[in-house]
Amino acid sequence: MSETAIFEIDMQKLSAVVITFNEEKKIAGCLDSLINIADEVVVVDSFSTDNTEAICRAYKVNFSQHKFDGHIEQKNYAISLAKYDFILSLDADERLSDKLLSEIRKVKGNFSFDAYQMNRLTNYCGKFIRHSGWYPDSKIRLFNRRKCKWGGTNPHDKIVIEPDVKVSILQGDILHFSYDSIQSHIKQMNSFTEIGAQQLFDKGKRAGIFDLTIRPFWKFFRDYIIKLGFLDGYYGYVVCMLSAVHVFSKYAKLKQMQLQREKNK
């Protein structure tokens, strides 16, 4: 077989890529979901202090550690380590539904698109949230790295595609096991709003009265009423309320940065 033919075959193989940090409770479920569909699994860890590394090595994945400089940077670094151009990217707290796994099997080996979009269904404190602005939460997670890369604004990364890329939609869901408790949600929200406020501050954005009042109110109203968050019951209300608090917190922290800068002048 010629080198060209071998290269063409390899192009159709699939690398699964995951980044981790202290994910001992969830990484096994993610890897179980990937090992039967991917031709290799690449895990890039940010120097976990729990059993994440030991669990990953038990699966014989391509495991490495790398300093965390941001979600976008870490994910792009991870896909640079993959053998194959077609990448399936999951977070450590995600896994593939049976339907989505079947859909990926159908396209694998004969990828006719450069990017594939799929829905993400989030499990919050044991309940799947099917409204509240959290579903269908469409994501591109299967893609050709020659034409797609991670971009966006940390911590809200997204796949950025070249203008000529055509995207296909796969049925089934990424099952996202996000928060085991409201406390863990609030803890992560505090971290994410710190990052988000700093990003806005570095871009020269300013927080005004509109950002601190109307934006949070509209976020709750849209997610709970227009996007039917009330159908998700108690946890739907919690999700919508904390989403509004997230918006308020981000702009309040941005405002604090502005005031501190003015004070230091």
For the segment 38-58, the average pLDDT, to the nearest whole number, is 97
Place of tokens 């990364």: 157
- Band (43; pLDDT cuts 50, 70, 90): very high
Does 8 score more than 50 pLDDT? no
pLDDT value for 260: 92
CA distance readout (Å), 95 to 116, 149, 224? 16, 21, 27
174 beta partners: 96, 120
Specify the 3-state DSSP secondary structure of 26: coil
pLDDT value for 12: 80
pTM: 0.88
Report the alpha-carbon distance of residue 93 to residue 129 in Å, rounded. Answer: 15
Q: Mean pLDDT of all residues in the chain? A: 93
pLDDT value for 161: 94
Q: Longest Cα pair distance anywhere in the chain, in angstroms?
A: 70
DSSP string, 178-226: EESSHHHHHHHHHHHHHHHHHHHHHTT----HHHHHHHHHHHHHIIIII
Specify the 3-state DSSP secondary structure of 158: strand
User: Amino acid identity, residue 71?
Assistant: H
- Band (167; pLDDT cuts 50, 70, 90): very high
Report the alpha-carbon distance of residue 176 to residue 74 in Å, rounded. Answer: 20
pLDDT value for 137: 94
- Band (142; pLDDT cuts 50, 70, 90): very high
Structural domains present in the chain: 3-179 (3.90.550.10), 182-264 (no CATH)
Vertex 172: Cα angle to 140 and 178 (nearest 5): 70
Does 3 score more than 80 pLDDT? no
175 beta partners: 95, 121
pLDDT value for 153: 82
